[in-house]
Amino acid sequence: MKKKEESFFKLISQKPWEASQAILDNEHDGKTFIVSKAKLGVRTVMVVSTVIFSLFVVSYSDRMLVHDWRSLSQPWLLWINTLILILTSVMFHRTKVLAERNEFDKTKNSLLIVGFLTFAFLTGQLLVWQHFVNLGQYASTNPANAFFYVLTALHGLHVLGGLYFWGKVTTQLFKESYNVSKIKHNIELCAIYWHFLLIVWFVLFGLMVAT
């Protein structure tokens, strides 16, 4: 961290108008900080997703002040789904630790458990939708219903996107030969993304429970 800070301050203190610095700039390969394309991509997705979810949260907060807003019921399955997502995030952190220790047999098993838990979460969310439909609480019935369906669907799509990359990492790990450093890096990125999904769900679920 200290080296990164020194690099940053060294960068902003440069004087490109000086001849000596101009020579160095001409030899520069265009890279400023050492960040992989994959990590940069994950960070970009997280930033964009945060902006999108923030806009929906603001809209939710404004819309609930209108007189026709009726709060949704809170089925117990939503709490179970939240617990499953917490366990998934914890398991992915464990997977990352196992990969760093080069315990790849255990890493494979942990990845499979992560996949199972993630599918269980998505199935649970669909069951919650079915619960509301059986009660006659459709998107057109109440603005709170509409927001619930939109927010959970948007979050679910992000989870599905994460499952795609989980599948790629898991498939690579089950091959006879694979790049160890690349596998570790990809597992780390997936773990970061799953933690992000958990934080987003905490915000969305907390908002729905509080209102």
190 and 86 inside one domain: yes
Higher pLDDT, 15 or 178: 178
117 and 189 inside one domain: yes
95 and 171 inside one domain: yes
100 and 151 inside one domain: yes
| C-alpha to C-alpha distance for 67 and 143, rounded to whole angstroms | 11
Residue 160's domain comprises 37-210
pLDDT on residue 26 = 56
Question: Which residue has tokens 């990492």?
Answer: 169
Cβ neighbours for 170, distance < 8 A, ≥ 6 positions apart = 108, 111, 112, 115
58 and 142 inside one domain: yes
| C-alpha to C-alpha distance for 182 and 45, rounded to whole angstroms | 20
SS (H, E, C) 26-75: HCCCCCCCCCCHHHHHHHHHHHHHHHHHHHHHHHHHHHCCCCCCCCCCCC
153 and 190 inside one domain: yes
pLDDT on residue 33 = 47
159 and 117 inside one domain: yes
2 and 47 inside one domain: no
pLDDT on residue 191 = 94
93 and 135 inside one domain: yes
Q: Express each pLDDT in 137-158 by its tens digit.
A: 888 888 888 999 999 999 999 9
Counting the structural domains of the chain, the total is: 2
- pLDDT bin (cut points 50, 70, 90) of residue 3 is low
68 and 26 inside one domain: no
pTM check: above 0.75: yes
pLDDT on residue 7 = 53
Q: Express each pLDDT in 108-123 by its tens digit.
A: 999 999 999 999 999 9
pLDDT on residue 22 = 55
Q: Express each pLDDT in 36-78 by its tens digit.
A: 788 888 889 899 999 999 999 999 988 888 888 888 778 899 9
Q: What mean pLDDT is reported for the chain?
A: 85
% of the chain surpassing 70 pLDDT: 83
83 and 43 inside one domain: yes
- Residue 146, domain CATH: 1.20.120.80
Q: Mean pLDDT: which of 6-20, 24-38, 192-206 is highest?
A: 192-206
Rounded to 10 deg, the angle between the 37-63 and 180-210 helix axes is 10
Cβ neighbours for 146, distance < 8 A, ≥ 6 positions apart = 139, 140
The alpha-helical segments, DSSP class H, found in 64-179 are 76-100, 104-134, 143-173
Question: Three-state SS for 197?
Answer: helix
Per-residue pLDDT, averaged over 23-44, amounts to 65
96 and 173 inside one domain: yes
